[in-house]
Amino acid sequence: MSKMLNLKLKIWRQDGPHTQGAFLDVEANDIPEDASFLEMLDVVNERLIADDVEPVTFGHDCREGICGTCGVMINGQAHGPEKATATCQLHMRKFNDGDEIVIEPWQAEAFPVLKDLMVDRRAFDRIVEAGGYISVPTGTPQDANSILIPKEVADSSMDAAACIGCGACVAACPNSAAQLFTSAKLAHLNVLPQGQSERWKRTEAMVETMEDFFGSCTNHGECHEACPKEISLDFIAFMNRDYVKAKVKNRSLASQQ
C-alpha cells in the first residue's frame, strides 16, 4: 500500500475577480504518496464538504497532462517542482512528510481569477483567432501525400504544436508575457509549407493581439522552465525574426516573396 504523508497546505481562496482573497490553512493528513496532486486536492475537498465548507474550486479535466485545463502555482512554481509535468501529472511522492505547500492560482492581469484557483485564459483564444490557422475550408484539398514535408520540418512543427495552452508560461514570467505560447502557435504553422500563404499576416496579427493582453518578453526563460511540454525558447527567436520580416513584407504584395 501507499506510504502516507501529512502536509500543511496554504490554499488561496477568492470568491471572484473583484473580491479580496486569503489563504486557507489546511492540515492534510494521511495523503497517499501515489495520489496525484489534484487527487490530494480532491481528498481535501471531500473533507471540507464533510465539515460543510465549500470545496476549493480549481480547473481540471483530462488529468493526463494534455487538455491544459489544470495548473496552479505550487510553492511559487507553475505546475510545481517536477520538470515537464502538468499539475495533474505531479504525484505526491515528490513531496515529503511534513512539507508545507502553498497553492495559488496563475497570477497575471490577462488571467483574472474566476474563483479560488481557477482563472480565465480566454486571451489565449483571442490570439489564435487573430490568425492561428490555415484558411482551408472543408472540402477536397489535394492528396495529403502531394505535400512533401521533410521529417525534420514535421518534427519541428510538432514540437511547437505540443503546446497544451495551460498558461504556465505566462504565470511563470515576471512580466506575464505570452511569447512562448504565441511563438509555439506561430511556429506550428509557419514552418510548414501549408502555412506559408498566410505566414506574414498571421505573424503580425497574432503578435499584436498578444501585446494587447500580455506583458513584454525580457528573455528570462522562466516560461520554458515551467512548460509541461518543454516548448523551446528557440520558437520565440523564430517569432521575433518573423515579426520583423512581417512588418516589411506586409507593406505590399510585391514583397510577399
Partner 1 sequence: MVTLDAKIPEGPMADKWDNHKFSVKLVNPANKRKFEVIVVGTGLAGASAAASLAELGYNVKVFTFHDSPRRAHSIAAQGGVNAAKNYRNDGDSVHRLFYDTVKGGDYRSREANVHRLAQVSVNIIDQCVAQGVPFAREYGGLLANRSFGGAQVSRTFYARGQTGQQLLLGAYQALAAQIAAGKVTLYNRSDVLDIVKKDGEACGIVTRDMLTGEVHGHSAHAVVLATGGYGNVYYLSTNAMASNVTAAWRAHRKGALFANPCYTQIHPTCIPAADEFQSKLTLMSESLRNDGRIWVPEANDDARGAAEIPEDERYYYLEEKYPSFGNLVPRDVASRNAKTVVDEGRGVGPLKNGVYLDFAAAISRDGVEAVKERYGNLFDMYERITGEDPYSTPMRIYPATHYTMGGLWVDYNLMTTVPGLYALGEANFSDHGANRLGASALMQGLADGYFVLPYTIGDYLAPKLGNTPVPTDDPVFKESVQAVDDKSRQWTSNKGTHGVEHYHRELGKIVWEHCGMARNEAGLQTALKEIPALREDFRKNVKVLGSPDGINTMLEKVNRVDDFMEFAELKVRDALHRRESCGGHFREESQTPEGEALRDDENFAYVGAWEHKGDGAEPELHKEELNFESVPLTQRSYK
Site residues for partner 1, window 76-95 (CB under 8 A)? 82, 84-85, 89-91, 93
22 vs 84, beta carbon nearer partner 1: 84
**Judged by CB under 8 A, which of 74, 117, 164, 223 binds partner 1?**
164
Distance CA 105, CA 117 (A): 4
CB-based contacts of 141, cutoff 8 Å, min separation 6: none
Query: Cell 464538504 sits at which residue?
Result: 49
Q: Is 132 in the site for partner 1 (CB under 8 A)?
A: yes
52 vs 254, beta carbon nearer partner 1: 52
138 vs 252, beta carbon nearer partner 1: 138
For 28, the 3-state DSSP assignment is strand
94 vs 220, beta carbon nearer partner 1: 94
CA dihedral 73, 78, 81, 86 (to 10 degrees): 110
Binding span for partner 1 by CB under 8 A among 5-13, 185-193, 213-221, 243-251: 185-193
Q: Is 141 in the site for partner 1 (CB under 8 A)?
A: yes
Least distance (Å) between residue 76 CB and partner 1: 21
Distance CA 168, CA 164 (A): 10
Q: Is 105 in the site for partner 1 (CB under 8 A)?
A: no
Least distance (Å) between residue 240 CB and partner 1: 21
> Which element (helix H / strand E) includes 154?
helix 151-161
Per-residue binder mask for partner 1 (CB under 8 A), 208-227, x = binder: --------------------
Cα 178 versus chain centre, distance: 9
Distance CA 193, CA 199 (A): 10
Per-residue binder mask for partner 1 (CB under 8 A), 38-77, x = binder: xx--xx-xx--xx-xxxx-x-xxxxxxxxxxx--------
Q: Is 128 in the site for partner 1 (CB under 8 A)?
A: yes
Per-residue binder mask for partner 1 (CB under 8 A), 12-41, x = binder: ---xx---------------x-xxx-xx--
**Judged by CB under 8 A, which of 20, 25, 76, 139 binds partner 1?**
139
Distance CA 200, CA 17 (A): 36
Q: Is 97 in the site for partner 1 (CB under 8 A)?
A: no
Distance CA 55, CA 49 (A): 6
**Judged by CB under 8 A, which of 29, 97, 109, 133 binds partner 1?**
133
Distance CA 232, CA 67 (A): 20
46 vs 100, beta carbon nearer partner 1: 46
Strand ranges of the sheet holding 73-74, from the earlier edge strand across to the other edge: 22-32, 4-13, 100-104, 73-74, 77-78
